[in-house]
Chain A
Amino acid sequence: GQQVMQIPQYQHVQEGEDFTTYCNSSTTLSNIQWYKQRPGGHPVFLIQLVKSGEVKKQKRLTFQFGEAKKNSSLHITATQTTDVGTYFCAGNNDMRFGAGTRLTVKP
């Protein structure tokens, strides 16, 4: 199946700092989905991107799909302790997830 690589694997930030995670693919993606999993919880759908260069925002979260549709990013502005969790991306239609980025936030 298609490989989606996610970086970084871990990120520890001070509350109020920004955070970004990236998903990269060697092949062009038709779409990409982002999920968040809180510690001890299950993955929850955040958003789907379909168009080249697409940017979508959800409050402090900004999602971007690259112009070549081979990469995507999730940026969180001014992190809060409620942002703690693992963020996953899944590309195209096979629903195989990247390794995820585990975010911890120090109050």
Chain B
Amino acid sequence: DAGVIQSPRHEVTEMGQEVTLRCKPISGHDYLFWYRQTMMRGLELLIYFNNNVPIDDSGMPEDRFSAKMPNASFSTLKIQPSEPRDSAVYFCASSQFRPGNSPLHFGNGTRLTVT
């Protein structure tokens, strides 16, 4: 099992550019989560999916952020346009069963720097 795979590991971009983060969950996991981690706000849940359907996107900061899960093995988190305050580590995680009933498996994260 390769675990949750995120790409890229690092992304440096200029303000105003579009950023796309990618995630491949563990095969057979029905839930996928996107988190953002900063020193100021800690680990924030942005959105999560169940069977490719967004269930709770209340953590998505604003309309500049969007997430999709076109199939069970792929998800994207897009920021357009990016701003310096979006600089953070973005984690994707997956779980086999519903939240709380099985552990989350995190990817290695994408460190985003917006200049």
Contact = CB atoms under 8 A, between A and B. Distances in A.
A30 B101 CA distance: 10
B114 interface: no
Interface residues of A, number: 22
Contacts of A92: 99-100
A82 B101 CA distance: 28
> Helix, strand, loop or mixed for chain A's interface?
loop
A94 B58 CA distance: 11
Interface string A22-64: 0000000011010100000111110010000000000000000
Interface in B31-47: 33, 42-45
Given A94-B56, A95-B45, A97-B43, A42 B109 contact: yes
Interface string B82-101: 00000000010100001111
A6 B45 CA distance: 17
A96 interface: yes
Nearest to A29: B100
Interface SS of B by simple majority:
strand
A56 to B, nearest CB: 14
B104 interface: yes
27 contacts: A1-B58, A31-B100, A35-B104, A41-B108, A42-B106, A42-B107, A42-B108, A42-B109, A43-B93, A43-B104, A44-B106, A45-B103, A48-B100, A48-B103, A92-B99, A93-B98, A93-B101, A94-B45, A94-B56, A94-B99, A95-B33, A95-B45, A95-B48, A95-B100, A96-B59, A97-B43, A100-B43
